[in-house]
Amino acid sequence: MSDSIVSLIGVEKSFGKNKVVKNMNVEIKEGEFLTLLGPSGCGKTTTLRMIAGFEEVSSGTIKVQGESVADKEPYERDVNTVFQNYALFPHMTVFDNIAYGLKIRKRPKTEIIKRVNEMLDLVQLKGYEKRKPDALSGGQKQRVAIARALINNPKVLLLDEPLGALDLKLRKQMQIELKRLQKKLGITFIYVTHDQEEALTMSDRIAVMNDGVIEQLAVPREIYDRPLTRFVAGFIGESNIFDGKVKGVRDGIIDVETSAGTMEVKGNGFEVGEDIHISVRPENINVSDDSVKGFNLKGKIKDYIYMGTFVKTSVDLKDNTEIKYSRFEKDENFKEGDSVNIYWNPERAVAIKVKR
């Protein structure tokens, strides 16, 4: 890929007998905001640290701007890292923290002053030059850390859960600010998080990792609407997942039998008798008094949960599977304890191959 700025080719990392990153192949585009998303221990931070040069690759190749970085020290790689704990120098002022990289490179004083002032404007911290980190809020500290990382004009900025220490309101504000900053500068951001809402909000593409492997790499809408694996379906957002067997295939519609009942889903490439996973988002679930052709999913409404902008409803099916469906308003036609039939538009569910 000619516009790739970072390439991982067959990259693996082991700690003793424990292989934490397995045969990773990724092309990251110049100017892209790519997020490595996954649960703790999936290998995402280790991957970031290998790109930065803080961890050695066990096998495979990492290239930055088409050149292998295997023999380069972290400071030679034209990438900078922003950490969750900010890693600011507590004895230095905001100005000196931001200027540190230029001072190390022995840049002229006039250039340092000019560049630091540009960074202060960029991260909206003008007037905070003389403060020390302990006089700053969490969000302000994070901005200083970002300014310090950006001042050397890196080609790639690596961000390791940079908003993890912030409260929810500030975290959401910083998500918007970071995305705007990335668009304005046109720098490639490689971002690590376990927060799937954060990944969906900020990313151009998301690499969903599990057990050292990328299970799916795609744009946020595709990750959410068309998960490729059961893990991705369950990890991204909320989903109702059924495990079943293909009973029939006709005109792109798959008839599926599960312990909860029978259902339909649109899909291709499945054969009768094959095991299958079905994923249906809560917002795509419908309920009815009457039975619906192609579906035999009966249950009882368990409860209504008011979530502010919508109401989440739980339904217990005959095999004790709990189904979630959501609406912007409470469905007044039904009440707790009522028997209902569950169905959906077959095009709004996802047929997923069972991994072998």
In the predicted model, is pLDDT for residue 346 greater than 70?
yes
Q: By the 8 A CB rule, do 328 and 309 touch? A: yes
Binned at pLDDT 50, 70 and 90, residue 209 comes out as very high
Binned at pLDDT 50, 70 and 90, residue 56 comes out as very high
Dist. CA 42–CA 62, nearest whole Å: 19
Spatial CB neighbours of 264, under 8 Å, sequence gap ≥ 6: 253, 254, 255, 256, 294, 295, 346, 349
Please count the other Cβ atoms lying within 10 Å of the Cβ belonging to residue 298.
15
Domain ranges of the chain: 4-231, 241-353
Binned at pLDDT 50, 70 and 90, residue 85 comes out as confident
Is 241-353 the same fold as 4-231? no
Percent of all residues in the chain with a pLDDT value above 70, rounded to a whole number:
99
Please state the rounded mean pLDDT for residues 83-98.
88
Instruction: Say if pTM beats, i.e. exceeds, 0.85.
Output: yes
Distance of CA 351 to CAs 24, 254, 321, 346, Å?
26, 8, 18, 10
pLDDT at residue 2 in the model: 53
Least Cα distance to 344 among 326, 330, 331, 319 occurs for 326
Binned at pLDDT 50, 70 and 90, residue 166 comes out as confident
Please state the rounded mean pLDDT for residues 287-299.
93
Percent of all residues in the chain with a pLDDT value above 90, rounded to a whole number:
68
The CATH homologous superfamily of the domain defined by 241-353: Nucleic acid-binding proteins (2.40.50.140)
Binned at pLDDT 50, 70 and 90, residue 15 comes out as very high
Q: What's the pLDDT tens digit per position in 63-76?
A: 999 999 999 998 88
Binned at pLDDT 50, 70 and 90, residue 264 comes out as very high
Please state the rounded mean pLDDT for residues 262-291.
94
Residues in the chain: 356
At 185 the three-state DSSP class reads helix
Q: Which own/partner pairs from 123-130 qualify as long-range (CB within 8 Å, at least 24 positions apart)?
A: 123/147, 123/181, 125/94, 128/94, 129/93, 129/94, 129/95, 130/93, 130/94, 130/95
Please state the rounded mean pLDDT for residues 14-35.
95
Dist. CA 94–CA 352, nearest whole Å: 51
pLDDT at residue 296 in the model: 95
Q: By the 8 A CB rule, do 82 and 157 touch? A: yes
- Helices 138-150 and 94-104 pack at an angle, to 10 degrees, of 20
Please state the rounded mean pLDDT for residues 285-291.
92
Q: By the 8 A CB rule, do 350 and 233 touch? A: yes
pLDDT at residue 237 in the model: 87
Architecture of domain 4-231: 3-Layer(aba) Sandwich (3.40)
pLDDT at residue 345 in the model: 96
In the predicted model, is pLDDT for residue 328 greater than 90?
no
In the predicted model, is pLDDT for residue 210 greater than 90?
yes
pLDDT at residue 275 in the model: 97
Q: What's the pLDDT tens digit per position in 212-232?
A: 999 999 999 999 999 999 999
Dist. CA 67–CA 351, nearest whole Å: 40
Please state the rounded mean pLDDT for residues 168-182.
85
Binned at pLDDT 50, 70 and 90, residue 162 comes out as confident
Mean pLDDT (the chain, rounded): 91
pLDDT at residue 1 in the model: 42
